[in-house]
Amino acid sequence: MTKNIAISLLAVALAACGSREPLRPAEGASLPPRPAMAAATPTVDQLLTPTTEQRPGRSEELLRRGEIRGDDRFDLPPQ
């Protein structure tokens, strides 16, 4: 029983290592085609970096526990 657990833990540890090399296209494949209005083909790093549209920043402070919500003019009952 303990031998099975040890082998399982070793397998999980090895699976969690991951690669430390930069990402590249697979053998025989290329990067996606250049966007229609782009001046140049984006690099791998540019493709993996999210834009502000994909990860927008918060413009409001989140409510903390115990704070009372203010009036919401868009919180209307169903028609």
What pLDDT was estimated at residue 61?
Answer: 66
Residue 71 pLDDT exceeds 80 = yes
- pTM here is 0.38
Longest distance between any two alpha carbons in the chain, whole Å: 64
Determine the pLDDT at residue 18: 66
In percent, the amount of the chain with pLDDT more than 90 equals 0
Reply yes or no on whether the pLDDT at 27 is more than 70: yes
Give percent of the chain with pLDDT exceeding 70.
86
Q: What angle do CA 60, 71, 79 make, to 5 degrees?
A: 115
CA distances from 31 to 11, 41, 75 (A): 33, 8, 46
